[in-house]
Amino acid sequence: MMPGAPMMRGPPGVPLPLHGMHPQMAPPAMPPPAMPPPPGPPPTQQPDADKPEKTWIEVKGADGALYWHNCITKVSTYEKPAELQSAAEKADAATGWKEFKDADGKPYFHHKERNETVWRIPGELAKAREMLRVVTEGGKRAAERAMAGLAPEVGPPVLVPAPAPAAASALPVAGGAAIEVNTKAEYANKAEAREAFEAALADAGVRSTDSWEKVSRLASADGRWHALPSNAERRHVAKEWQERRRKPEAAEARKTEMANRKRFAELLDATPALKPRMSVREAEAVMRDDARFDTLRSALAHETRADIYLDWAADAAAKAEAKARAARGKAREAFRALCDAAFQATGGLDGEGSRAGDRHRTREASWRRQRQALDAAADAEARRLAEAEGAEDVASAMASMSALERMEVYEDVVRGAYEADERQRAGKRGDARRRDRKARCAFLALLDGRRGKDEPIAAVSWASVLSSLRGSTEYANMLLTESGSTPRELFEDVRQDALDALVQLRGEVAKELENRKIGAGSGTLIEGVAEVRAALGGSANKLLSGWAEADLALALEVVEVVPGGAEAVPAAGAVAGGAGGGA
């Protein structure tokens, strides 16, 4: 033992390794205390007459520890009997070394007879395990060849000598002696030796990013390290093995990183005490007591955890804001319904009342008069929502609405009612205008239908035609119109248009007669339609076509032809006098 080196207690008679024996490992935790002598056979263990009695039986004691009881010699022991040991256990027992694990699960090795304890696997133990593997694999290959009908392998095995023992080839132990590592191993061929060396690298936990010094430190205690004869060959093979492992390890690292990120995000979601506005330090303080956080803290770097948390916090804040915004919107809609009911209770607007009545209702429906009742209704609605499942956020939003916000909602309701009322009034006005226009068109068509009758419309008065119009639907609809001309005004317009047309016709006829030199030299009067037709000859049909005989008779009763190329002038008072008599 090194001077001044402390030693911790191990299992009964098993000291733990020294502190300085393995620079990468701290001393293992305290092993379990010594166990009392094993008890006798368990009381429930009764022989079965139908089955042959076993020599050894495995029993679990009251404290959970396993021990073995010999049913013949009645001896109990905590050491597993040799006849029950596997080939690997027998190989270990033959060397005198036994493997233990500390509280963290790290293996160390103890030799009971020498009272020696080491961290690294002893050389003879590694050799025994390697020889067992070679023998087992050799027997397996021979069996496979026999089953395949192949001849056994011939030729001596390849002997791969190890370098001469050096200081680095010995392991210091508690007593100051050295345990010589495996110096010679037999492999069937070079490929098998290389495979054994690479297996030693994998078992030692060598990574693709480890330096050669770290590779030597991790794997040199394994007996398979000397499967290759020189350090140069070992270094070359180790480098090739690391290159092959680089991509798989990177892919596995990425996969593990993504899985750990996902687990950390799930941990954040599953921690209700976390708030989005917390800092990274505050959030980790909240999760410190969670065992899952302890695991992920060692698996993820601090910067990675901070990035994940900040992304989660931003997303959680956005979700919380969206949820609060939706709750406020629902609260406003619920309060709007209350405001609408309160406004309608005051009389509301129906598009029928007068503006004075609307102003009176507006005064009654003012916010100042309705505020107290609406506040009470809003508080009652908030209490009702709080008791409803899933409406707690809406209830809270309604209860927290300010007086200004409530006033804005109420005034918006009133303003909307006035706008709807105005649209209704405008629609009614449009309907009335369309109805009036349709009635006027029908009445004008009725008046136009009187053309061609025995008595021209230009020669009758309103009083004479009214009696015949009173029983018609067109005249009744005209009386219901709200805008535009009255029935008499429309009649007078139609009568005036007819008079103007007759005067124009008389002038055109007089002009045509003057162009034909009829009555040249002095003003000539031509009376009657027959004389006009005779004077005009064949052109009379074109000029007089489309006119009713009654209208032509009124217009062409007397036509004066003015010589000298002047425009023809109707006889004074001819048409007007006839029409005036009718008026």
Residue with tokens 């991509």: 247
Distance from the first to the final alpha carbon of the chain: 150
- Structure confidence at residue 268 (pLDDT): 92
Are 414 and 362 spatial neighbours (Cβ–Cβ below 8 Å)?
Answer: yes
Are 351 and 425 spatial neighbours (Cβ–Cβ below 8 Å)?
Answer: yes
Averaged pLDDT, groups of 10, the chain, 583 residues long: 38 48 41 52 51 73 82 85 83 85 85 85 84 70 57 44 38 37 65 92 92 91 89 92 93 91 92 90 89 86 91 92 92 91 74 53 73 89 88 89 90 87 88 91 85 69 85 89 88 87 83 69 65 71 73 72 47 40 33
Q: What is the pLDDT of residues 493-526, one digit of tens each?
A: 988 888 888 888 888 888 877 777 665 444 567 7
- Structure confidence at residue 565 (pLDDT): 44
Integer-rounded Cα radius of gyration of the chain: 60
Which uninterrupted H or E stretch holds 378?
Answer: helix 367-387
DSSP structure class, residue 148: T
Tell me the C-alpha to C-alpha distance, in Å, between residue 13 and each of 28, 34, 450: 16, 9, 140
94, two tokens: 């033959």
Domain locations in the chain? 322-427, 449-582
CB under 8 Å to 41, separation ≥6 — which residues? 57, 59, 69, 71, 74, 76
Least Cα distance to 112 among 85, 93, 126, 89 occurs for 93
Residues 294 and 289: their CA atoms lie apart, in Å, by 8
Tell me the C-alpha to C-alpha distance, in Å, between residue 385 and each of 307, 333, 338: 39, 13, 14
Which uninterrupted H or E stretch holds 356?
Answer: helix 355-364
Residue with tokens 């029409």: 579
Q: What is the pLDDT of residues 179-222, one digit of tens each?
A: 334 444 578 898 999 999 999 999 999 999 999 999 999 998 88
Q: Judging by beta carbons within 10 Å of its beta carbon (0-12, 13-18, 19+), is residue 402 exposed, middle or buried?
A: exposed
Least Cα distance to 481 among 441, 514, 519, 448 occurs for 441
> How many residues comprise the chain?
583
386, amino acid identity: A
Are 367 and 411 spatial neighbours (Cβ–Cβ below 8 Å)?
Answer: yes
536, amino acid identity: L
Least Cα distance to 493 among 468, 457, 469 occurs for 457
- Structure confidence at residue 181 (pLDDT): 40
- Structure confidence at residue 185 (pLDDT): 55
Q: What is the pLDDT of residues 46-105, one digit of tens each?
A: 544 444 457 888 888 877 788 888 888 888 888 888 888 888 888 888 888 888 888 888
Residues 238 and 206: their CA atoms lie apart, in Å, by 9
202, two tokens: 């994998």
412, two tokens: 């918006």
- Structure confidence at residue 259 (pLDDT): 92
**111 three-state secondary structure:** strand
Least Cα distance to 566 among 516, 514, 526, 508 occurs for 514
Tell me the C-alpha to C-alpha distance, in Å, between residue 68 and each of 13, 47, 57, 439, 579: 20, 16, 6, 119, 145
Residue with tokens 């008890």: 39
**Residue 15 phi, psi (nearest 5):** -70, 150
Least Cα distance to 198 among 180, 224, 174 occurs for 224
